[in-house]
Amino acid sequence: MRLLITGAQGQLGHDVAQAAIQQGFDTLALTRSTLDITRADRVDRTIDARQPDLVVNCAAYTAVDRAEEESEQAFAANRDGPSHLATTCARHGIPLIHVSTDYVFDGTKDSPYTESDPLRPINTYGRSKAAGEAAVQAMTNRFVILRTAWVFGAHGNNFVRTMLRLGQERPSLRVVNDQVGCPTFTGHLAEAIMGIAAIYRTETECPWGVYHYGGQPPISWHGFADHIFTTARTMGVALKIEALEAIPTSAYPLPAKRAANSRLDCSKFERVFGLQAGAWEDGVRTVISAWLASQAIKPPE
């Protein structure tokens, strides 16, 4: 079975490609330089030539704050790109797994968001991702849209790696404590995507639709940062950080609005696919181990 993976240069695309190779899929891992999904002609030409059995779209514009000034680029990657993929996949009868985000919600709900909750994005990035979901659903009926949140991995830029860097550079940090979500390790998310691919490989069909997948348990950004520093110290990372101050969102204004509640109800995914969302604490340890290795420091036994 041949998988075509877009956005393979990103932290998620990298891990999806590695997981696919490890599980024996014939893997075509394409970066933006080899497939720019915003170009319909290139999408057509690539899929026509490669003839994959399944497409996994990990390509996206993810600079949340910059998207407020670069809305054209955000919509090109997050709406038009998925639309091109879905259109070509439908023409060939190829299923599409498309990764989306918690940013499609406004964060005002007082409980975890389910797949049936209305989409009310509050920033440009969220609107572009919601438009991408709509495009996929309009262009093909053989899709899995997988919404996730607070993604971090051993590769690329993310909150865990940023905290490790800042924790080595600064004696104190201020982190918001009134935004709660589901940190999601890319390795776990890649395994979940491979679980979906395996179902299609063995059964030729799949329970298509929209699903949520996010690490558990939910936590605030401040709590997440505190856990990162505590774990890093136990694993031998030398940190300068001594004080971690909890602050409200209002004390740390950013160009793009953030949702107070980004919790995702993943029970539908677990019930349908028989796969549980991973514990993000395990992912944090994996990222820290990679961080130590990059600094040529061996963690204690």
221-271: per-residue pLDDT in tens?
999 999 999 999 999 999 999 999 999 999 999 999 999 999 999 999 999
State the CB neighbour count (10 A cutoff) for residue 57. 26
What is the predicted pLDDT for the residue at 276?
87
What's the pLDDT tens digit per position in 265-295?
A: 999 999 999 988 889 999 999 999 999 988 7
Contact yes or no for 146/190 (Cβ under 8 A): no
105: domain range? 2-158+184-216+263-279
Which position among 103, 125, 200, 213 bears the catalytic label?
Answer: 125
Contact yes or no for 144/128 (Cβ under 8 A): no
| 125 annotated active-site | yes
Q: How many independent structural domains does the chain possess?
A: 1
Task: State the average pLDDT over residues 5-15.
Answer: 97
Is residue 255, in this structure, part of any structural domain at all? Answer: no
Nearest CA to 153 among 7, 12, 6, 301? 12
What is the predicted pLDDT for the residue at 280?
97
What is the predicted pLDDT for the residue at 299?
52
What is the predicted pLDDT for the residue at 186?
97
Is residue 105, in this structure, part of any structural domain at all? Answer: yes
Is residue 292, in this structure, part of any structural domain at all? Answer: no
Is residue 145, in this structure, part of any structural domain at all? Answer: yes
Entry pTM: 0.95
What's the rounded Cα separation, in Å, for the pair 132 and 42? Answer: 18
What's the pLDDT tens digit per position in 81-101?
A: 999 999 999 999 999 999 999
Question: Does residue 157 surpass a pLDDT of 80?
Answer: yes
Question: Does residue 297 surpass a pLDDT of 80?
Answer: no
Is residue 66, in this structure, part of any structural domain at all? Answer: yes
What is the predicted pLDDT for the residue at 300?
56
Is residue 83, in this structure, part of any structural domain at all? Answer: yes
What is the predicted pLDDT for the residue at 163?
97
- Report the CATH number at residue 135: 3.40.50.720
What's the rounded Cα separation, in Å, for the pair 219 and 142? Answer: 34
Reported as a pLDDT band with limits 50, 70 and 90, residue 110 is: very high
Task: State the average pLDDT over residues 8-20.
Answer: 97
Task: State the average pLDDT over residues 60-80.
Answer: 97
What's the rounded Cα separation, in Å, for the pair 134 and 115? Answer: 14
What's the pLDDT tens digit per position in 164-213?
A: 999 999 999 999 999 999 999 999 999 999 999 999 888 777 899 999 99
| Structure token digits, residue 221 | 């950004």
**For the chain, what is the mean pLDDT?**
95
What's the rounded Cα separation, in Å, for the pair 130 and 136? Answer: 10
Is residue 169, in this structure, part of any structural domain at all? Answer: no
What's the rounded Cα separation, in Å, for the pair 279 and 283? Answer: 7
What's the rounded Cα separation, in Å, for the pair 208 and 62? Answer: 25
Is residue 233, in this structure, part of any structural domain at all? Answer: no
pLDDT over 70 for what percent of the chain? 98
